[in-house]
A = this chain, B = another copy of it.
Amino acid sequence: MQKNVDILVIGGSAAGIVAATTARAFYPDKQVLIVRKEERAVVPCGIPYIYGTLEGIDQNIIPAAHIEQAGVELMIDEVVSISKDEKNARTASGTVISYDKLVIATGSVPKVPGWLSGTELDGVYTIPKDCSYLDHLRDKLETCRKVVIIGAGFIGVEIADELSKKQLDITLVEVLPHVLQTAFDHELSEKAEDILASAGVSLKLGCKVEEIEGDDGAVSGVRLAGGERLDADAVILATGYLPNTTLAADAGIKLNELGAIRVDEYMRTEDKDVFAVGDCAEKFSFFTRIVKGLMLASTACSEARIAGMNLYKLSRLRTFGGTMSIFSTAIGGTTFAAAGVTEHVAVERGFDIVTGSAEGIDKHPKTLPGVHQQWVKLIVNRESGLVLGGSVIGGTSAGELINVIGVIIENMMTIHEVLTLQFGTHPLLTGPPTGYPLLKAAENVAKQLRK
């Protein structure tokens, strides 16, 4: 079968959907087709919550209705090859789709450490974006007592937090000294560790896994370097993801050293009609342009919007300036969030920095019901005064407060400009105008800069 479209998007998770719907919004006379192999697309960052708060995978599906409402066609099939020269793609069912513009949004796949033995055992799971696999894991966990999670990044920590609400022995093993260490400053990691420990999660930090042990083909435990052995009915490998770029590589599209598709500021590959967005596309730092392996749905969607807008007409106003690394999560009802560089990375990269923090409350007065402590930290470049990073520990509102800090950083505002910003405050919604923690943190930075 032969099919012709103006814009072909391969992959229909977050990035693919946003690229397609943005393309329709900005080029309403163009036909847009998404081809994806999954009948239903899971909400990627919602996955941990199907193991506790939600009742299962059915409650964590990206609604397909939005795709149709935007006038985008959705085809369930798998693209098996791309020809850049002929400008077409071939699917598993034999359809050849000719395109004018191609967007590759093939996402990522779990990274299984090659050096680790026992990963093939029954009862050892990864967290792919695959509904039936994730649902099967949910059933399996119902029958378990002891679960070991390897890797304390966001997926590992969030699943541990969710599973801690059930009658399970949870152990979280991390080779680095702290949970969430690549995303957060130590103040956040340590507080998160306290909360996880209080919820009964056993933390094995700074511990390398030596081997996953099995018994008759099924997992029985995990042996740590140093000899300690953890019993396990199930093991979850939360050890990161790799760009899913075999299809692109086979088509001769250039990859970077991390296996991601090389793109320019417009999310375009070296072929001017082929774009790549999301986890499969190259990431670089907003601050240094260093290539990164970071994967975030919010970054993916931002890239997808930029690709969608630039497909037919490049706009110098609409470029991707590098990953800002805005992270947020909630653990045991406390929000942890960060934007920009961490203190550790700032120092490592060679920035001369000043940091300042302040603690307050997220409603006011503090006698109101539901008040949560709110702590804000800012990281500022000493010479320029530019805000490079920020962190928040707080209640629910911290999820948007970190976006306030994100906009400050992305606008390249100095700490002097932050000090004169006006913030709306309300008793039931924010910290007090007299002690808004973000401004108090800015003041503490300014005090140090005056020394």
B interface footprint on A391-402 (CB within 8 Å = 1, 0 otherwise): 000001111111
**Contact between chains at B367 and A54 (CB < 8 Å):** yes
Question: Among residues 392 to 451 in chain A, which have CB atoms less than 8 Å away from a CB atom of chain B?
Answer: 396-404, 406-408, 410-411, 413-414, 416-417, 419-430, 432-436, 439, 443, 446-447, 450
Contact partner of A426 among B66, B399, B428, B443, CB < 8 A? Answer: B399
**Contact between chains at B328 and A430 (CB < 8 Å):** yes
Contact partner of A60 among B323, B367, B407, CB < 8 A? Answer: B367
**Contact between chains at B419 and A309 (CB < 8 Å):** yes
A31 within 8 A of B: no
A321 within 8 A of B: yes
Contact partner of A401 among B22, B309, B403, B417, CB < 8 A? Answer: B403
Stretch at the interface among A71-79, A204-212, A224-232, A312-320: A312-320
Residues of B within 8 A of A255 (CB): none
Contact partner of A49 among B22, B368, B398, CB < 8 A? Answer: B368
A: interface residue count bin: 35 or more
Question: Among residues 306 to 357 in chain A, which have CB atoms less than 8 Å away from a CB atom of chain B?
Answer: 306, 309, 315, 317-321, 323-324, 326-330, 335, 337, 339
A133 within 8 A of B: no
**Contact between chains at B434 and A14 (CB < 8 Å):** yes
User: Oligomeric state, in number of copies?
Assistant: 2
Q: Which residue of B lies closest to A416 (CB)?
A: B317
A199 within 8 A of B: no
**Contact between chains at B434 and A18 (CB < 8 Å):** yes
Stretch at the interface among A3-11, A119-127, A145-153, A293-301: A293-301
Question: Among residues 273 to 316 in chain A, which have CB atoms less than 8 Å away from a CB atom of chain B?
Answer: 296-302, 305-306, 309, 315
Residues of B within 8 A of A401 (CB): 400, 403
**Contact between chains at B397 and A423 (CB < 8 Å):** no
A137 within 8 A of B: no
Residues of B within 8 A of A306 (CB): 420
Q: What separation, in Å, do the CA atoms of A398 and B60 have in the docked complex?
A: 23
Residues of B within 8 A of A367 (CB): 54-55, 59-60
Q: Which residue of B lies closest to A329 (CB)?
A: B426
Contact partner of A43 among B55, B301, B324, B365, CB < 8 A? Answer: B365
**Contact between chains at B43 and A422 (CB < 8 Å):** no
Residues of B within 8 A of A396 (CB): 396-397, 428-429
Q: What separation, in Å, do the CA atoms of A53 and B306 have in the docked complex?
A: 46
Question: Among residues 9 to 46 in chain A, which have CB atoms less than 8 Å away from a CB atom of chain B?
Answer: 14, 17-18, 22, 25-26, 43, 45-46
**Contact between chains at A328 and B60 (CB < 8 Å):** no
**Contact between chains at A407 and B426 (CB < 8 Å):** no
**Contact between chains at A425 and B45 (CB < 8 Å):** yes
**Contact between chains at B417 and A317 (CB < 8 Å):** yes
Residues of B within 8 A of A62 (CB): 365, 434
6 contacts between A and B (CB under 8 A): A49-B427, A55-B367, A297-B425, A337-B424, A399-B424, A403-B430
